[in-house]
Each structure stands twice: as C-alpha cells, then as structure tokens.
Amino acid sequence: MLTLYYAPGACSLAAHIVLEESGERYTPRVVDFSKTEQRSEAYLKLNPLGRVPVLGLDNGQPLAENTAILPYLGKRFGLWPADPLMEAKALSLIGFFATSVHPAYAHFSRPERYAADPAVFPVLKQRGLETFHGCLKQIDGMLADRTWFLDTYSVIDPYAFVFYTWGIRRELPVRELKNYIAFKDRMLERAAVRRIVEAENTPT
C-alpha cells in the first residue's frame, strides 16, 4: 500500500488529491510542521531535505518531490498522457510549477532559505509575493478557453489548484483571475477534491 507523508496546506495537497482520485487504498500520514516533525531523525531518513511530500512505495522505498511523485502516480492511475508530445507538455508544466511558481512563493513563506540576514527578509517577502502573483496571472492565461491544462484531467490540475489556494491564503486578488476561478470551481465539482480540501482545511 502507498503511504503519503503530507502537511496540510503544503504542495503535498496535489499528491493527496491524486491518491484520493485513484480510488486505491493508501495511508495518509500528517507531518506536523508546528512540532518540526519534518526535522525528526525518522523523517529525515525518508527525505534528507525535510520537506513534503514523500510517497512511501509498495516496497517501502521513499519517493520525494512532486516532479517525481506526480508523474509516477499519474502513470499508475491513468492521469498522465500517453502521447509523447502531451507528456512533454505535462513535464513542462510540472517544471514551471516546481521551479518558478513554488520558489516565488517560498521567498515569501521561507525567506530564511534565501538569505542569512533577517534584515533583508522584508524585501525578499515582498518581491516573492509580487512574483508569485505574477505567476498566478500566467496560470490564469494558460487556462483561457480550456477546461483542464491538458486535453483531459490529469495530475497537472491538482498541482495548479495548490497555488490558487496559496493565493487565497495570502489574500491576493485571485478572484480577479476569471479563468483560474472557473478552474477552481471545476476542481471543487470533483468529490475527491472536496474530500481532501475538507480534510486539510484548505481555503478556497
């Protein structure tokens, strides 16, 4: 059985939704950041970076990073494109989310990762939030005249949903992003998404 190590509200929300969509039994394990469980000896054996998500595979081996976990789950559960070109587009989107959108937000939420001097944290946080907002606008543009990011629902969609919820949490004007709002509404029409949103107490 698969085991998902996640933190409510973190980017692990994407994998959590995908596992719930699959209909397969899995074990969800909360990693409590308020108790720094991500820095415990046991967790660092799973992921030396001390981050979520981590997917415990059927053979007991851990798999870390959304860039690996989401394609793996997508191929396992039929939420990944078979066409080579569409697969390339999926990888491009995952790359954009993981290397541009998420780091922009991290400059706001984790400025200590990027500078040792607390005096520069306010500048990092402000610039990070501005850049993140710009990324949300880019995502909104990608969704113009589209139901999902690819031709059909895939693991890309829960990943994009994560960033919408972060925008809501930080009180950014995401409700002005009409395509993103419509996408969020479509996501919430899915029973699996609603269950995980409720389980993680995710703002929408």
- Beta strands 26-30 and 2-6: pairing type? parallel
Contact 1, 29 (CB under 8 A): no
pLDDT tens string 27-53: 999 999 999 999 999 999 999 999 999
Taking residues 52-69, report their average pLDDT: 97
Q: Give the pTM.
A: 0.96
Report pLDDT for 151. Answer: 96
Percentage of the chain modeled with pLDDT above 90:
100
pLDDT digits (tens, 9 = 90+) for 89-124: 999 999 999 999 999 999 999 999 999 999 999 999
Question: Which residue type, as a one-letter code, is found at position 67?
Answer: T
Give the pLDDT of residue 22.
98
Give, in degrees to the nearest 5, the angle at Cα 131 between 156 and 155: 5
Closest CA to 93 of 184, 144, 177, 155: 155
**CATH 3.40.30.10 residue ranges for the chain:** 2-77
Strand partners, 170: none
pLDDT of amino acid 80: 99
The fold adopted by the segment(s) 2-77 is: Glutaredoxin (3.40.30)
Integer angstrom CA distances of residue 99 from 65, 67, 105, 132: 12, 10, 11, 12
pLDDT in tens, 118-155: 999 999 999 999 999 999 999 999 999 999 999 999 99
Task: Return all residues near 107 (Cβ < 8 A) that are at least 6 apart.
Answer: 114, 124, 125, 127, 128, 129, 131, 132
- 3-class SS at 200? coil
Cβ-contact 106, 128 below 8 angstroms: yes
**Residue 50 falls in which region: left (phi positive, over 0), alpha (psi -120 to 50) or beta:** left
Residues of the chain with CATH 1.20.1050.10: 84-190
Q: Where does 84-190 sit in CATH, by number?
A: 1.20.1050.10
